Structure formats: C-alpha cells, structure tokens
Structure 1
C-alpha cells in the first residue's frame, strides 16, 4: 500500500487521536490547556507523570462516548460529530460515529477497517507504511499509559491542578510531525479531552465521556475488529 493512499487514513487517525468526531469544549478551557507548553516535564515531576500513565493503563478495556469538533482554519468553520468508542488493549480501537452520519472505523496495530454507508467492510493493511505504524503506536501508547514511548517520541510537557492533569506532546520524529504540530491531553483517572493541532493550522478537539470498564466485549463488538 503506497504512502499516498494512506495519507488520508493517517489524517483520520490523527483525528481520532484516536478515533472519532466532537462537540468541543469552551474557548477558555482551550486557552488554559495551551498553558502546558510553558511547563516542560521536569525531573521532579517525572515520577508523578509515570504514576498518571500507570493509572491510565489500569483498565485494559474501556468503552464510552465521544464528541469531536474539527476547526478548519482556512475556511473559518467547524465540523462536529459524535458517537461511541471502544479501546481494547489487545485488539485496538473502534470508533462508531452516530451523528451527523453513521460510520464505523476499527484501528489495529497494523490495519484499519472502515464501513461504507451500505455496510460493506474494507480492510487496509498498513504493514510497511511507517507513518501509519508510528501513528498507531502513538495512539496505543497514549491510551495504554506507556510512558517510555511518549518520552522517546515526543517532547513532553506537564501541569497538574485540582485533580486534573494536562500533558502536552510535541512530536520529535518527522513522520509524526507530518500530521501533528502538537497534541494536548487532559484528564484525571481517565483521558477526558484530546486536542490535535495539525500542520495546516486545523484543530481537532475530542471529548471522551461516560467511561465504563467491562470485563469483556460482546460478540458484536468483537466482530468489529475483523472482516
């Protein structure tokens, strides 16, 4: 599969980044979150940063709802969507968009499955596509709390106040920089918000809510990860 063919898919993945579509947060909250880039991760804060990542990895299976808001810089307009998500430490992730139009996407470590409006599944093999693989690995690192991968691939920034933490990530590798200038994560015991700043000036903001931690997926959900 050529890199050209995967470029739109990498942009979709960055949009999920994970996964998804959004209703967005207030401007004031976004302005506050950007403050994180004034606070490089310090040696004194590293132990707390590792602790938070350990907390995030405590649940191998997470389900919930998402909203997504993509702001198109050149057009000065926003697109909003929303639906449900599954994050499975073993299988990958599923994003089911319910509004404004139904669609489903499953993301594994080296593949992506998309559903057409008519229900047809298309599986794309990402093996050999370095940009896709690094992006999938980054997404996995974020949701599994892999501190070392984040420290290795990004310049890390961190602040915490009133039980809420904010992490800023600036990609250090060329492939990752091709889709994102920087990323902001906010949460407590789970990730609540993700903001992705694309190289072209567009912004994608996700809000995750209604987190639950089931013991297993049902048959329908398992089937979403395969053809």
Structure 2
C-alpha cells in the first residue's frame, strides 16, 4: 500500500512532462565551440566486399570557416572543406576541386559535422532522441535527390559529434567515428594554415 508521501511522488512522476530534446536545442549546443579537432576513422562497407575499406587521420572544424580533413592512412591526403567548395593540398598550394554536384555535398557534410539542423531540415525529416550528454539525430530523406542516395543518416554524440553513419540506397554504408576531441584549443599549424 502506498503512503501519502509515496503516492504524491508517483503522481508527480506520472503527471510531470517528459523532456524531449529539439533539433534547435541540439544545433545551439553543437555550435557553441569555436573549434573542434581530433582524430577520425572512416570505414566504408560495400555490399559486395566483406572487409570494410578504412581511412584514418585528423580533422579540425572551425566555426563559420570550414573543415580541415587530413587522411594519414592508408595514404596522405589533405582536404579543406569550406562553403565555397572542397580544395586539396598539393604540397605547395590549395587546389579547388571541380567535381560536379559538389556544392550540395559540401553543404550536407558541413551541416552534419556542425550540427546545423536548420540546413539539414531542408532535405531531411529530423528525429532527435536522448539528452545533450548522449543524443542521436536520425535523418530520413525527404527530397527526391536525397531519397535516391540515402536510406538514412544517423548521427550520435555528446558535446560534439562522435559518430556519423550513412546508409545508402544501394546497400553500402559509411561509418565515421571521431575520437579524442579537443574543444576551443589552438589548432595545429597545418589546420590553422588551411582554415585562416
């Protein structure tokens, strides 16, 4: 039998509103740091190959400037992703890539890593679960173009994005894991030079 004190507590728990994290709150949370840097591991699972293709390296994200992406294994490749497009370091200078359809890819990638749910909502239906300390953002394509490419995208994190999983329509999958994040610290010289 419940005592009056226990009854009051149970009644409060039943009637208390359940807090649900919103995309707007998640965006504000993820856009607080001016810089985030660390290491990444990217695994690409192709439906006809049993072992994933793996690359790893370091990254640096600078708010409202761009992303420095340095693949260190299995090859050495430095990329700079900014709103204007993607550029590759050729050991002397940054050379802009001229891939078609790149603008949409750049916007999507920057929005995913920067937690820009407003930009993501233009092409996906968003579903957020968890809390600011442990959240998951699921993206379901809503535009015809994104429906042709993706089954869904799942992003997980805490103070920063920790994992991105892209499930493609044809059965392939890419998993990016971000490790050892450093927030609001001086960027390493290569990243600083790329993102100035």
Provide the aligned C-alpha RMSD in A.
Answer: 2.7
TM-score, scaled to structure 2: 0.77
CA contact (8 A) 1:166 1:187 kept: yes
Report SS of the residue matched to 2:164: strand
Q: Structure 2: how far apart are the matches of 1:219 and 1:75? A: 38
Q: If you compute each CA radius of gyration, which structure gives the higher value, 1 or 2?
A: 2
Greater alpha carbon shift after TM alignment, 148-157 vs 56-65 = 148-157
Match of 1:191 in 2: 161
Q: Which runs of 5+ in 2 are unaligned?
A: 1-18
**Kindly tell me: are residues 205 and 59 of structure 1, through their superposed partners in 2, closer, same or farther at Cα, counting changes over 3 Å?**
same
CA contact (8 A) 2:59 2:68 kept: yes
| 2:44 is the counterpart of 1:98 | no
Q: Structure 1: how far apart are the matches of 2:132 and 2:108? A: 27
Q: Structure 1: how far apart are the matches of 2:102 and 2:147? A: 12
TM-score, scaled to structure 1: 0.68
Q: Structure 2: how far apart are the matches of 1:213 and 1:104? A: 21
Report SS of the residue matched to 1:90: coil
Q: Structure 2: how far apart are the matches of 1:111 and 1:66? A: 21
Richer in helix (by share): 1
**Kindly tell me: are residues 54 and 68 of structure 1, through their superposed partners in 2, closer, same or farther at Cα, counting changes over 3 Å?**
same
Match of 2:43 in 1: 69
Q: Structure 1: how far apart are the matches of 2:40 and 2:107? A: 21
Richer in strand (by share): 2
Paired residues in the alignment total 178
What is the correspondence of 1:25-174 to structure 2 with a 5 Å cutoff?
A: 45=20, 48-115=22-89, 121-125=94-98, 131-160=101-130, 163-174=133-144
CA-CA distance at 1:185 after TM superposition: 0.2
CA contact (8 A) 2:60 2:187 kept: no
CA-CA distance at 1:174 after TM superposition: 2.9
CA shift digits 1:113-135 (9 cap, x unpaired): 1245x767531257xx5x42222
Q: Structure 2: how far apart are the matches of 1:184 and 1:215? A: 27
CA contact (8 A) 2:44 2:172 kept: yes
